[in-house]
Structure 1
């Protein structure tokens, strides 16, 4: 057999056998991934992309006579389904999203513009990866990744970046005599800040981007395609909204300032965000007792100087805050603060299934690039979205059409009460610490939101409700030392969540007076 009308997975696998090639060798001959080749064996009826069909034609045409004879024997009596029969099958939800989701299309377009793939090639590559996915294997890998502890991730990061820390160090806190390391890179001057923010007190300036677009290597492009396919299969939410990228940072006593530019979210999702998955898989399969093989990290975030070169790389990040709400004496408790903790949903791309403070969000513009550059603006917006239920400020729901989404006439009642009292003793927002997460190079602005006026809880406590980004919202009393200590020791914390929680607790212990009995939290000296 010298000609194949329409190649299927069965035909391709037969040619591999006729050539006596391994999956790896056959993938090299075709210029595709090993996963794609494996997928043909798992799904013999699969029809490869047009690009691969042409490569298979060429490979068969150039094959020696004995290879062609073996190929003819292997496929001679087998009649795979026709193309019409294959395409008539209903597409899966993941395939439907790949075909129709404009946010996925934006990611594919970015891949093609930053790697030498022809138009349409990125979509075909993701389609191949999606077809080759084994959903059971994907779930098993997700389960293994979920078993990786924060301590293991911290140890792996410490080993990888073992040289060049200097004045910098991974954030480590001691709770109940137990030391807990994180992947958050920081320094003494960036901790225990207690710096008021909001009302113009955090000075971040927006500068239109001058950084050239990046060109990615084949390794990053293929990993990005694989990651997109897995996100589609898992149903992860991917929204290509604009986010800020950090370009400079100035943290001094009384000063929290810096500058930012803007990028599309997919630029982060298909580059630096790949590092978290690579790290978790590497730890799950290789352990942490030896240096890990992480080629994507070697390329994108190889050393501490690169981590700290904010202007020279993509540096996405966000603001997150421990929220403490004053309550009057109630059933079974004296006047205290209610502390809110969330368990992140499996649908989010960042820190899913982990504990975190709330609100927590990527720092990005809503309507005004300049005004929204203050990270306190992101915290205020996320209070509306994540705690008070406003969907029109949620970038995942739809386009922003309001000229001023945070105009007093649009605010929820709980938020309007707070904004009417901004600058008073009724409530405050403070920056508690700043760090850079070695997992994916993100900047983290840890903060504390304190509502001191008990009237707010009496009026609006029943309206506090987490949005889709949380799978659960938990509350703790600031007087319950035992539960707070157990919470701090919970291994499910994300690195940035533990960072913000422990820094918020330390600050609350200083300013909370009789309302608090916080556990002892000491920092590594």
Structure 2
């Protein structure tokens, strides 16, 4: 189909669906000029937008591709408008003329390594254990055993940081925002950053210039959590310490051994455990990830009453741990509308439940600027979240462990979301659906000890996801009663 006709067909499909360019842009959380450029044939939608665009236009994915045209899908690399602030940031940081970053990314597109295979999880864990050996003081990589399965992860932790059972409420958590503290200079390798952006744009990965919390101090203790956070830029993270993961994967894929002095990015930014533990002296971003466990009543097909455990496969569009298994929700810790109020871990966790499991697209920080003053106002909550918050005791949110991920130095607050009222599942089980960050969602019963043990040994896990899963299962065994029949998870300390 000629380009002009394809363009007319796409415009017609939009109008038939009842959208102006601005209206369609609002639904998709993109700029109006982006829609205009699609219809002009200048750009094509990034991969993560295709399912929703097809849905709102009332077309199948194949029909949408026919409208845009196969040649358009494979046309010359062209990131959408969401990358413009990222290009500007890199130009400013590198001291380049405005537009140089865009040119460099375009030039690097042909060499994109986005199809690079992921090494097994344990290979990454053991490589970093070797790089940072011997550990200092009582900090060790998290090790656990379930039945005959033993796993070592990249999460650096200590016994005092585990089994916290800390309620993520104002009574149990005291995470405070501290503004005005001096920030260390951004450490960015421009060449590696350009390659990262080329891979990201070609793969539909979302990198947006939004604020992100950085950890300044932390004191996790059983029953109580104290921390201080400052502010940073997600772009600074994505083009800085996040590149350490890509360097490591490339290094391992070439058959080399991860050794100090041979990995330039890691040697410069996280050369030893002391550097990992120096929170104020570096950009320590990270987040909250939780094992979600929902009580279900007895069922003639499933059997006795249990908890369903939700496990996601991460999509190819996420910034890190793409195509890996993880718990859900899993999120970067960052402010939504109020930097001070949003600093609490529990606030991020509630928001991510809404976004990643209950369908709230309006709290997705990667979609652009917010227009709502209070996105988590009670009147805006989803039906499942509103029901959970109507009565005390329906929603249990606890921090189960803390660690620092040696992959990129991220902080990880492992948590448990337990819905113990079995009325929830019959009411809202059909409303639980993962968002774009997940490529798939799997469920496991806490009565299936063999399947859960086999899952723990799966090499497709992300290291931090496995850490949160294991800590969540340990806590669930304490509070779940007869609903939980999983072999004990024992720590390797």
TM range (shorter): 0.7 to 0.9
What is the CA distance between 1:113 and its match in structure 2? Answer: 2.6
Structure 1 distance, partners of 2:351, 2:216, is 22
Give the corresponding residue for 1:64.
Answer: none
Which deviates more from structure 2 when the two are superposed, residues 433-442 or residues 208-217? Answer: 208-217
Residue 370 (1) aligns with residue 340 (2):
yes
Structure 2 distance, partners of 1:199, 1:459, is 29
Given the superposition, is the C-alpha separation of residues 298 and 456 from structure 1 closer, same or farther in structure 2, using an over 3 Å criterion?
Answer: same
Q: Is the 8 A contact 1:115 1:216 kept in 2?
A: no
Give the corresponding residue for 2:125.
Answer: 154
Structure 2 distance, partners of 1:522, 1:226, is 41
What is the CA distance between 1:291 and its match in structure 2? Answer: 6.0
Give the corresponding residue for 2:314.
Answer: 344
Equivalent position SS for 1:503: helix
Aligned residues: 422
Q: Is the 8 A contact 1:317 1:363 kept in 2?
A: yes
Give the corresponding residue for 2:236.
Answer: 267
Q: Is the 8 A contact 2:247 2:265 kept in 1?
A: yes
Give the corresponding residue for 2:52.
Answer: none
Given the superposition, is the C-alpha separation of residues 215 and 506 from structure 1 closer, same or farther in structure 2, using an over 3 Å criterion?
Answer: closer
- Please list every run of 5 or more consecutive structure 1 residues that lacks an aligned counterpart in the other structure: 1-88
Residue 249 (1) aligns with residue 218 (2):
yes
Equivalent position SS for 2:280: helix
Which deviates more from structure 2 when the two are superposed, residues 269-278 or residues 330-339? Answer: 330-339
Give the corresponding residue for 2:406.
Answer: 438
Give the corresponding residue for 2:85.
Answer: 106
Given the superposition, is the C-alpha separation of residues 313 and 377 from structure 1 closer, same or farther in structure 2, using an over 3 Å criterion?
Answer: same
What is the CA distance between 1:185 and its match in structure 2? Answer: 0.3
Q: Is the 8 A contact 1:286 1:292 kept in 2?
A: no
Given the superposition, is the C-alpha separation of residues 452 and 288 from structure 1 closer, same or farther in structure 2, using an over 3 Å criterion?
Answer: same
Structure 1 distance, partners of 2:272, 2:96, is 29
Residue 121 (1) aligns with residue 100 (2):
yes
Deviations 1:245-272 (A, max 9, x none): 1111111233211111112210100000
What is the CA distance between 1:454 and its match in structure 2? Answer: 1.0
Given the superposition, is the C-alpha separation of residues 357 and 292 from structure 1 closer, same or farther in structure 2, using an over 3 Å criterion?
Answer: farther
Give the corresponding residue for 1:361.
Answer: 331
Deviations 1:27-53 (A, max 9, x none): xxxxxxxxxxxxxxxxxxxxxxxxxxx
Which of 416, 423, 432 is residue 448 of structure 1 equivalent to?
416
Give the corresponding residue for 2:197.
Answer: 228
Which of 362, 369, 376 is residue 392 of structure 1 equivalent to?
362
Deviations 1:205-254 (A, max 9, x none): 1112422452546xx11111111111112221222221111111111233
Q: Is the 8 A contact 1:209 1:262 kept in 2?
A: no
Deviations 1:67-96 (A, max 9, x none): xxxxxxxxxxxxxxxxxxxxxx98976743
Q: Is the 8 A contact 1:94 1:235 kept in 2?
A: no
Structure 2 distance, partners of 1:200, 1:410, is 25
Q: Is the 8 A contact 1:359 1:383 kept in 2?
A: yes
Query: Where in structure 2 are the equivalents of 1:44-443 lying within 5 Å?
Result: 95-97=77-79, 100-102=80-82, 104-130=83-109, 133-134=110-111, 138=113, 142-143=116-117, 146=118, 148-212=119-183, 214-216=185-187, 220-288=189-257, 293-330=262-299, 331-421=301-391, 424-443=392-411
TM-score by length of 2: 0.82
What is the CA distance between 1:425 and its match in structure 2? Answer: 2.9
Give the corresponding residue for 2:53.
Answer: none
Give the corresponding residue for 1:76.
Answer: none
Q: Is the 8 A contact 1:114 1:216 kept in 2?
A: no
What is the CA distance between 1:201 and its match in structure 2? Answer: 2.5
Deviations 1:313-367 (A, max 9, x none): 1111010100111111112310111111100001111211000001110001111
Given the superposition, is the C-alpha separation of residues 513 and 94 from structure 1 closer, same or farther in structure 2, using an over 3 Å criterion?
Answer: farther
Structure 2 distance, partners of 1:90, 1:465, is 31
Give the corresponding residue for 2:45.
Answer: none
Residue 523 (1) aligns with residue 479 (2):
no
Given the superposition, is the C-alpha separation of residues 285 and 216 from structure 1 closer, same or farther in structure 2, using an over 3 Å criterion?
Answer: same
Q: Is the 8 A contact 1:159 1:291 kept in 2?
A: no
Larger Rg belongs to: 1
What is the CA distance between 1:295 and its match in structure 2? Answer: 0.4
Structure 1 distance, partners of 2:315, 2:192, is 24
Deviations 1:488-523 (A, max 9, x none): 111111000100001111111111101110123211
Given the superposition, is the C-alpha separation of residues 223 and 461 from structure 1 closer, same or farther in structure 2, using an over 3 Å criterion?
Answer: same
Give the corresponding residue for 2:425.
Answer: 457
- Quote the RMSD (CA, aligned, Å): 2.0
Q: Is the 8 A contact 2:305 2:483 kept in 1?
A: yes
Q: Is the 8 A contact 1:115 1:215 kept in 2?
A: no
TM-score by length of 1: 0.77
- Please list every run of 5 or more consecutive structure 2 residues that lacks an aligned counterpart in the other structure: 1-70
